[in-house]
Every structure is written in structure tokens, then in C-alpha cells.
Amino acid sequence: MLGSYAYNSIDETGRMFMPAKFCEDFDVNKSAEDAAAVAAPLSGKLRKNYAGRCVIVHGIESCLYAYPVQNWERLIADLHTLPSDDDNIRDLLRHYMGSSTFCDIDKQGRLTIPQEARNYAGLVRELACVGMVDVLEIWDRETYTETMKNKNLKEINNYVSNFKRRRAQERPGDR
């Protein structure tokens, strides 16, 4: 999913076509057995229902996250390793878990987005779908355009560079 985006639309019933460039990430048009054969087991379990399924979650910004099931399970496993006595971690877990919905992607590549999720992200007609390494962001197209227009990419790049420098100083063995 890295570095890809696509413009799309959603119909009045909440269905969108999964952009072709993301279909492989979500195992669209694969049998459950084929999808399970390439999925890494998590917590000692290998699920057979990865094919054409995803988890829709309310994003941190005004968008939705669509996770392939195996990526969702990996994220949850990582989050569960964090300290449960931290209020912010519990709040993030509540946000993710409380808004998560398993959704099917049909053989035609259509994903039905639940009404509550559409309301959260303000999805009405035109969409922007953005591949973000292990998750697909689904935005209202106008909201995405406005959000990105207001970002200062030079400042963001400087922030990331400084973050990486600080992290390297904290963990000298990782250089």
C-alpha cells in the first residue's frame, strides 16, 4: 500500500469499489485458503477468513482506516504490549476497539462502509483513498485536499529528521 492514492466515490448505500491497486493487500478475489497460506500466524492462530475482509476503524484525523485483517491483528497485538495503566494508551485502545467493524469485500471488489463510520469521516460521495504502509486511509476527498493543503511538508520533514536523530541517540546500538 505504500505511497499510493486513488480518488473514488461511494454510493448512497455506502458501497465503494476497492481501488485496484489495493485489492492485493486485502486479498480480494483470493480464496480463503490461498489468503491464509500467505498470512503469518499471530498468537499461535492462523485464521482462514482473511480473504476479502478488512477492519474499518475511526481514524485519528477525520478519516477511516481500513486494515487488512492480518495487519489489524498485528496492531492489536502490539498495542497490548503497552502498559495498561497508562490513560492515553487505554483511550487509544478504546477508540480503536470501540469503533472497529469487520467488513467483507465482495468478489466485485465492493466494500460496504457502515453508516456510523461514514458519518464519522463525513463520507458522502467523493473519496480519497491513501495507502499508508499497512493501512488504507479513506477520506472525504475535499477534507483530504484541505488537510493536505494546510500541511507544511518542510516542517514535517524537519520534525521526522529530528525525531529519528533523538531516537538514534536514545538507542545507540540501533544505528
What's the rounded Cα separation, in Å, for the pair 7 and 120? 19
**Does residue 132 form part of some domain?**
yes
Average pLDDT over all residues of the chain: 83
Residue 152 is assigned to a structural domain of this protein: no
Is the residue at 42 inside a domain? Answer: yes
Examine residue 172 and state whether it is found in any structural domain, yes or no.
Answer: no
| Residue range(s) defining the domain that contains residue 105 | 5-141
- 114: pLDDT strictly greater than 50: yes
CATH number, domain at 136? 3.40.1550.20
Cβ contacts of 115 within 8 Å, gap of 6 or more: 14
Domain assignment present for 160: no
Contact between 117 and 58 under an 8 Å Cβ cutoff? The reply is yes
Domain annotation covers residue 96: yes
pLDDT at 103: 92
The candidate with the shortest Cα–Cα distance to 7, out of 152, 137, 150, 133, is 137
Q: Return the half-sphere exposure (C-beta side, CA atoms, 13 A cut-off) of residue 142.
A: 5
The answer to whether residue 120 is domain-embedded is yes
Domain count, the chain: 1
Give the Cα separation of 20 and 18 in Å (integer): 6
141 has pLDDT over 70: yes
Where is pLDDT greater, at 75 or 21? 75
Calpha distance 47→68 (Å, rounded): 12
Identify whether 164 is part of a domain. no
pTM of the full predicted structure?
Answer: 0.79
Over range 124-145, report the average pLDDT: 93
**Could you tell me the pLDDT band of residue 123, with boundaries at 50, 70 and 90?**
very high
Which stretch of 47-51, 68-72, 96-100, 121-125 has the lowest confidence by average pLDDT? 47-51
* Residue 94 Cα to chain centre, angstroms: 16
